[in-house]
Structure 1
């Protein structure tokens, strides 16, 4: 049986044009976890020439219900807006919307076939769904095959006529998947979530730079928060750096950390588990009476404010040595790119250069964003401007200039004042 839908195949590809094979495969894994799976298995076979002869992604989720098949597939194609893939902001429980990620296979294969088993009122039901790249707006399905009464639910997607080789899979796709899912696997570690490739569990620790576990206790209420901090080597794609608030291991809420998006490549996740979050209202800043009390269960509660303050200070302490390291790399890059004026290399100007280097390092540690995404000419202009202001002892002008460019916090303003005072 074939079922046609509204938007054309080319229209679907146009909307999903920004997806590549790495992101597409990630979407199939997300579809499995969205279906309540805790195990996702990637299996492939390559020939002697390094070409992929087969590729499949299987999960032990609840499967695709035939009775809801039309609801699950047809809405994707009704309009370009309807098939945009979105990521939830404050929960990790549902990554995609309507499972649209299953359409992205056209980036690396000609055909995708789903073999699925789901639980119905009549017992286990089994079916097959197939879509071709040339007809993304047309799916074929057959749910007439009987399922074994002793089987389990789940879905396996088989991709055929692959346009991807073994080297691309191993060098590009698998590292991408490690960065995409490392934070999620860590979040669900107590549930034994895993992703395997040809039967071997993926080692997500390869993206871990450092990790630490500790507890924070609010002195006035004796509320205890159990913390796990992870400093990642590489970015987490769209997830960025976040706090994950859990109770008995179940995610309640997530939000960006105070050091997220600082343009410094300090990628981190903080997992916070406490019974305190079981009935916590993260949407409100105050309790129902609009008052802050020791035992209120909203963001205005004293225990929550204490927690965030302690974590902010902790993250800043962890970030400082990391930024010092990157500040040294910044100076090395500036030397290689010949950003400093040539006369600064003369012995007579060594003191002036050392003061400028010290100021640049200190400013980078304070606000890396000042030095990010600059062209060679912009780097030279910034360095020369700072050098001129230093030579004229115009520290107050430097402070005003930088404070106008970057919205420093009061603490950062104090730190900047100390930096400039030391250069007098």
Structure 2
């Protein structure tokens, strides 16, 4: 049976134009985890020229129920506005909520066929679904086959007429998958979640810079929080840096950490497990006048204690990281000839060390000052600092930076002390 709907195949590709093969393959893996799978198997075979002849992605989830097939495939065919892939904000469940990821195979293959086994009231059932790149706005399915005798649910997607090679997979796709799923695998470590590629478990620890585990104890009510902190080497794509609140190993809620989006490439995840979160109300806020009848809320003493302690902990972990990156920033500026050219070697010896120290210190206070600048802007920025320092306009330096971005009171004090410190050493 074939089903065709309103939006055209080209319209679908247009809406999903920002997706590449790395993101598309990741979406099929997310679909497996969304189906309650704990193991995803990616298998591929390349020919003597290195081109892929076969690619399959299999999961041991609950499969695609034929009775709900239209709910799974039809909604995102209705209009361009319905085609979007958005990860939920406060939970890691149902990442590919609207199933649009099933259409992204056009980025690397011409055809896709789903072989799926699900459990119905009559027992295990097996079926197939097919979609081609030339007809993304239609799908054919066959669930008339005899009941499955495997006794296991799951879905295997097979892709044919592939447009990627073995080198693409090994040098581009697999590193992307490590960064995409490392935080999620760590979140579900106790459930032994895994992604297996050609029989070998993908090693997510390769993206871990630091991992620490410890407890925080709130004595007044004898509440214990088990903490796992991970500092990642590379970014987590759309996930960013977050707190994950768990109870008995099960995720209850997640939210951005206080050091997220600081423009400093400090990628981190904090997993917090405690029975305290079993009846916790994450949606009520202290100043909204809401009363929490059962359980606790963000206004509770325990939660305030937790977040304050973790914020200080993250700041302490971030400081050496920022020092390291400040050194790298200066090295990059040297290579790109951002620093001013001094008239004499003596002038350079007098002025450049102080300028370099100011740049390093400013980066440690607020990396945002140095983000998103092109080469000309960097040169202007650095040489303006050099001019102001040479002219003894230290107060103007502070006012300039304080006006460029919003600094918290603590950050303002650090910046002011920093600039005055240079005055004292003249």
TM range (shorter): over 0.9
**After alignment, is 58-67 or 397-406 more displaced?**
397-406
Instruction: Classify the secondary structure of the residue corresponding to 2:79.
Output: coil
Give a deviation string over 1:389-415, Cα, whole Å, max 9, x none.
Answer: 212222221111111111111111111
Deviation at 1:372, TM superposition (A): 1.1
The size of the alignment, in residue pairs, is: 423
Q: Is the 8 A contact 2:243 2:271 kept in 1?
A: yes
Which position in structure 1 is the counterpart of 2:22?
22
| Structure 1 stretches lacking a partner, 5+ long | none
Structure 1 CA distance for aligned equivalents of residues 346 and 147 of structure 2:
83
Q: Is the 8 A contact 1:287 1:298 kept in 2?
A: no
Q: Is the 8 A contact 1:292 1:302 kept in 2?
A: no
Pick closer, same or farther for the CA change 1:195–1:391 going to 2, 3 Å.
Answer: same
Q: Is the 8 A contact 1:111 1:160 kept in 2?
A: yes
Structure 2 CA distance for aligned equivalents of residues 407 and 319 of structure 1:
20
Structure 1 CA distance for aligned equivalents of residues 150 and 174 of structure 2:
34
Structure 1 CA distance for aligned equivalents of residues 256 and 287 of structure 2:
22
Pick closer, same or farther for the CA change 1:161–1:290 going to 2, 3 Å.
Answer: closer
Matches within 5 A, 1:2-401: 2-286=2-286, 290=290, 297-343=296-342, 346-401=345-400
Deviation at 1:345, TM superposition (A): 6.7
Give a deviation string over 1:3-38, Cα, whole Å, max 9, x none.
Answer: 111111111111111100000000000000111111
**After alignment, is 410-419 or 167-176 more displaced?**
410-419
Structure 1 CA distance for aligned equivalents of residues 70 and 157 of structure 2:
19
* Aligned CA-pair RMSD: 1.7
**After alignment, is 231-240 or 149-158 more displaced?**
149-158
Pick closer, same or farther for the CA change 1:288–1:398 going to 2, 3 Å.
Answer: closer
Instruction: Classify the secondary structure of the residue corresponding to 2:259.
Output: coil
Deviation at 1:292, TM superposition (A): 10
Q: Is the 8 A contact 1:344 1:353 kept in 2?
A: no
Q: Is the 8 A contact 2:212 2:229 kept in 1?
A: yes
Deviation at 1:83, TM superposition (A): 1.4
Instruction: Classify the secondary structure of the residue corresponding to 2:419.
Output: helix
Deviation at 1:342, TM superposition (A): 0.8
Deviation beyond 3 Å, 4+ runs, structure 1: 286-293
Instruction: Classify the secondary structure of the residue corresponding to 1:315.
Output: helix
- What TM-score, normalized to structure 2? 0.96
Q: Is the 8 A contact 2:279 2:295 kept in 1?
A: no
Structure 1 CA distance for aligned equivalents of residues 392 and 168 of structure 2:
55
